[in-house]
Amino acid sequence: MEEKLKSDELRRDIQNRLQRLINDHPDHYYSATSTIARLIHEQISEELSRLSIDEQLLLKPLSVRDIEMILSIK
């Protein structure tokens, strides 16, 4: 059950970051998933020290490929 909650929280966080990225840079709407995943990964890396401990534990282990997979799940 706890893994499901973490998974849902992770998916929500990535979707929020995606929405923020597209709002800030509408030209990325049609970018490749790999490009978007790399940009989100960079965003997470830049913000990591400002996140809560729980968010850090959730997001720090993510690779670009992990983010691609999350983005591909509908």
Q: Model confidence over 16-66: pLDDT tens digits?
A: 999 999 999 999 999 999 999 999 999 999 999 999 999 999 999 999 999
DSSP per-residue string spanning 23-42: HH-GGGGGS-HHHHHHHHHH
Confidence of residue 6 (pLDDT cuts 50, 70, 90): confident
Question: 7 pLDDT exceeds 90?
Answer: no
Instruction: Give the span between the Cα atoms of 3 and 45, in whole angstroms.
Output: 23
**Structure pTM?**
0.89
Give the chain's domain count.
Answer: 1
- Domain assignment of residue 9, given as a range: 2-72
Instruction: Classify the phi-psi angles of 65: left when phi > 0, otherwise alpha if psi is within -120 to 50, otherwise beta.
Output: alpha
Question: 69 pLDDT exceeds 70?
Answer: yes
Instruction: Give the span between the Cα atoms of 63 and 44, in whole angstroms.
Output: 10
Question: 1 pLDDT exceeds 70?
Answer: no
